[in-house]
């Protein structure tokens, strides 16, 4: 119901009407669809690489130049608050999607007047605010870590008392890869944490004791057909994803169904179209959902080689109104992010079952420069080849 307040229902109806012509074009002409992407990073690059073999062409809208996007499509330079530039961009494409969730919802509203935008704006708006996100989870009966919304130092002191310690204070908006958050282990640390992140709207979360971190990626078409990829196990360091293993080992059927059920509930609530991810904590009591992402996701990069249809291809299929592909795994996969430094490509490619993806980015501390996926026929082969890969400098 909150989505109606966001204006999502009229926007979605308009998007469906506009999208009918996109579907007809996609089905009639292999080279007839031009997809617009808000953002021009590596996710956009991989979306284009998946769509080009289907006859699609891509135009990116970004405030800055991007080597990643320029390799696979046209790049329009403009600001997200420039209504004229957004409308011009929208008029040059058939459908628009986005590669990251920190896109202005006002920009999406502007584009929606010209062409369809998927995923829907309601999902984008919810994902941009950790408070709204948690409230949406709770409305659907999806368990979350204990939390309190924080708007002042007094609120934070109350939250620390009610939720307990240790906990994490996070900005409600614009935090990613460990940014915009700080740990509180004692009440005496509350004021310093508030001074570091306030006076922006914040959320205080209690720490969850978990065995591992998991994610599930799902895709939903315009007719409501929904598929889920195998649940992946994710390993982070310094707030950044380092490794994903799929399918996750030793996952019970009950927890797999639980993860898929949460994804399906959220997709249905939003009237979603496209690829969607949720990140979870695996605990003794069950799965606790941490956050969602209304886009293709880093923990799904393994699907390029490790699934019948990659998350990137299924996303462009969905937003263009085409039938979805099979999400079943092909063997066993491990994905390693390349952070800060490029590896020796020759050494990487000498390891059996390895696939190297470089994004065309310059080296910089903490920057995602590419990823490597190992896909093997057995878990034993996967473990052996992954260990060989880890022996190479800059592979974590």
Question: pLDDT tens-digit profile of 277-292?
Answer: 999 999 999 999 999 9
Residue 356's contacts (CB-CB under 8 Å, 6 or more residues apart) are: 345, 348, 349, 370, 372
User: Does the predicted model carry a pTM greater than 0.85?
Assistant: yes
pLDDT higher than 90, residue 140: yes
Residue owning tokens 């707030």: 239
Given this model, what pLDDT does residue 30 score?
45
Res 221 pLDDT > 70 = yes
Flag the least confident range among 1-5, 221-225, 306-310.
1-5
Higher pLDDT, 158 or 21: 158
pLDDT at 370: 97
Residues 6 or more apart whose CB falls under 8 angstroms from that of 366 comprise 177, 238, 240, 339, 340
CB 185 within 8 A of CB 144: no
The pLDDT confidence band at residue 72, using thresholds 50, 70 and 90, is: very high
Convert the pLDDT of each residue in 155-208 to its tens digit: 999 999 999 999 999 999 977 666 789 999 999 999 999 999 999 999 999 999
Predicted pLDDT at 392: 96
- Please report, rounded to a whole number, the percentage of residues in the chain having pLDDT higher than 90: 87
Which tens digit of pLDDT belongs to each residue from 109-123? Answer: 999 999 999 999 999
CA dihedral 12, 39, 238, 174 (to 10 degrees): -60
More reliable by pLDDT, 67 or 231: 231
In the predicted structure, residue 70 carries a pLDDT above the cut 60: yes
Where residue 69 falls among pLDDT bands split at 50, 70, 90? Answer: very high
> pLDDT per residue over 341-358, tens digit each?
999 999 999 999 999 999
Instruction: Give the pLDDT score at 320.
Output: 98
User: Region 124-146: what's the mean pLDDT?
Assistant: 97
Residue 14 has pLDDT above 70, yes or no: no
Q: Kindly report the average pLDDT of the chain as a whole number.
A: 92
Q: What is the mean pLDDT of residues 246-257?
A: 97
When pLDDT is averaged across residues 91-117 and rounded to a whole number, the result is 96
Q: What is the mean pLDDT of residues 355-366?
A: 95
Q: What is the mean pLDDT of residues 331-340?
A: 98
Which runs of consecutive H residues, i.e. helices, occur in the chain? 2-5, 8-28, 42-51, 67-70, 83-91, 105-112, 121-127, 130-139, 153-163, 190-197, 253-270, 303-306, 311-319, 345-349, 379-390
SS3 298: helix
Percent of the chain with pLDDT over 70: 91
Per-residue pLDDT averaged across 62-87, rounded?
94
Handedness of CA 154, 160, 163, 168 (dihedral sign): positive
Q: How far does the chain reach from its first CA to its final CA, in angstroms?
A: 44
Across the range 66-72, mean pLDDT stands at 91
**Is the confidence at residue 23, as pLDDT, over 80?**
no
Q: Nearest CA to 68 among 109, 93, 100? A: 100
- At 3 the pLDDT is 37
* pLDDT in the model for residue 27: 46
Domains of the chain, each with CATH number or no CATH: 2-127 (3.40.50.20), 146-206 (3.30.1490.20), 212-390 (3.30.470.20)
In this prediction, residue 107 carries a pLDDT of 96
């Amino acid at each position: 119901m909150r989505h109606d307040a966001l204006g999502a229902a009229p926007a979605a109806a308009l998007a469906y009407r506009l999208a009918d012509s996109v579907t007809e074009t996609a089905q009639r002409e292999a080279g007839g669809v031009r997809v617009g992407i808000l953002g021009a990073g590596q996710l956009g690059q991989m979306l284009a690489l998946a769509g080009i073999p289907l006859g699609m062409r891509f135009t990116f809208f970004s405030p800055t130049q991007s080597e990643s996007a320029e390799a696979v499509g046209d790049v329009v330079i403009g600001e997200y608050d420039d209504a004229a530039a957004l409308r011009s961009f929208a008029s040059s494409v058939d459908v628009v999607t986005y590669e990251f969730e920190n896109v202005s919802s006002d920009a999406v509203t502007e584009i929606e007047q010209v062409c369809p935008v998927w995923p829907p704006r309601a999902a984008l708006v919810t994902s941009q605010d950790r408070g709204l996100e948690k409230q949406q989870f709770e409305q659907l009966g999806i368990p979350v870590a204990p939390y309190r919304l924080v708007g002042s130092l007094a609120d934070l002191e109350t939250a620390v008392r009610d939720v307990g310690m240790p906990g994490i204070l996070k900005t409600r908006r614009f935090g990613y890869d460990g940014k915009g958050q700080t740990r509180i282990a004692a009440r005496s640390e509350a004021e310093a944490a508030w001074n570091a992140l306030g006076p922006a709207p914040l959320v205080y979360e209690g720490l969850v004791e978990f065995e591992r971190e998991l994610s599930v990626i799902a895709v939903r078409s315009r007719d409501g057909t929904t598929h889920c990829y195998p649940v992946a196990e994710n390993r982070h360091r310094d707030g950044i994803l380092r490794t994903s293993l799929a399918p996750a080992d030793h996952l019970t059927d009950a927890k797999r169904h639980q993860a898929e059920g949460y994804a399906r509930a959220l997709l249905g609530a939003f009237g979603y179209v496209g690829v969607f991810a949720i990140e979870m904590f695996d605990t003794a009591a069950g799965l606790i959902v941490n956050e969602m992402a209304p886009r293709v996701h880093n923990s799904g990069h393994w699907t390029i080689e490790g699934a019948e249809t990659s998350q990137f291809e299924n996303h462009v299929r969905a937003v263009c109104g085409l039938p979805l592909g099979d999400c079943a795994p092909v063997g066993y996969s491990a994905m390693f992010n390349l952070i800060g430094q490029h590896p020796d490509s020759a050494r990487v490619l000498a390891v059996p079952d390895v696939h190297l993806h470089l994004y065309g980015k310059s080296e910089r501390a903490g920057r995602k420069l590419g990823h490597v996926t190992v896909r093997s026929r057995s878990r034993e082969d996967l473990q052996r080849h992954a260990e060989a890969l880890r022996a190479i400098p800059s592979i974590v």
